[in-house]
Amino acid sequence: MGLVFASIILSNPVNESLRQLETKCLVDSGATYLCIPTHVANQLELKELQKREVMLADGEIKNVPYVGPIQVQFEDRICFVGAMVFGNEVLLGAIPMEDMDLLIHPKLLKLSVNPASPNVAMGYAKRVIANGC
């Protein structure tokens, strides 16, 4: 499988007066989080919430800023997540992809909404049973 890229829109839901950013991102289901470069965090005026450790593909561990909240939009799907700040490109990981119910088509090198739920994002949640039973 080759590299998959997609166009997403990033915005700051806390400060809607800021312009949203349409950006090309690398799509990686092997990555966990949304990762953004410093200039994107600065443009969206995202606040650092804490430092987090992230392990890179080569095994190196880095201590990086974790910012948020950030709104991610792909086609008609949105989610709200935090983001790790490092690197030189936007990387869309598994958490925001799962939240928006998106799939990678390896043969087509394309990101798309789940065809099994084309109108509304679908996810799984644990059922709550009355009286704790």
pLDDT of 52 above 80: yes
* Mean pLDDT to the nearest integer, 2-13: 96
Global pTM reads 0.90
pLDDT-derived band at 124, boundaries 50, 70, 90: confident
* Mean pLDDT to the nearest integer, 52-71: 94
Strands (E), the chain: 4-11, 21-27, 34-36, 47-55, 61-74, 77-85, 90-92, 102-105, 110-113
* Mean pLDDT to the nearest integer, 12-38: 96
52 CB neighbour count, 10 Å cutoff:
14
Question: What is the average pLDDT score of the chain?
Answer: 94
35 closest CA partner among 75, 3, 62: 62
Domain ranges within the chain, ordered by starting residue: 4-132
Chain CA centroid to CA 18, Å: 19
pLDDT of residue 133: 56
pLDDT of residue 81: 98
At the topology level, CATH places domain 4-132 in Cathepsin D, subunit A; domain 1 (2.40.70)
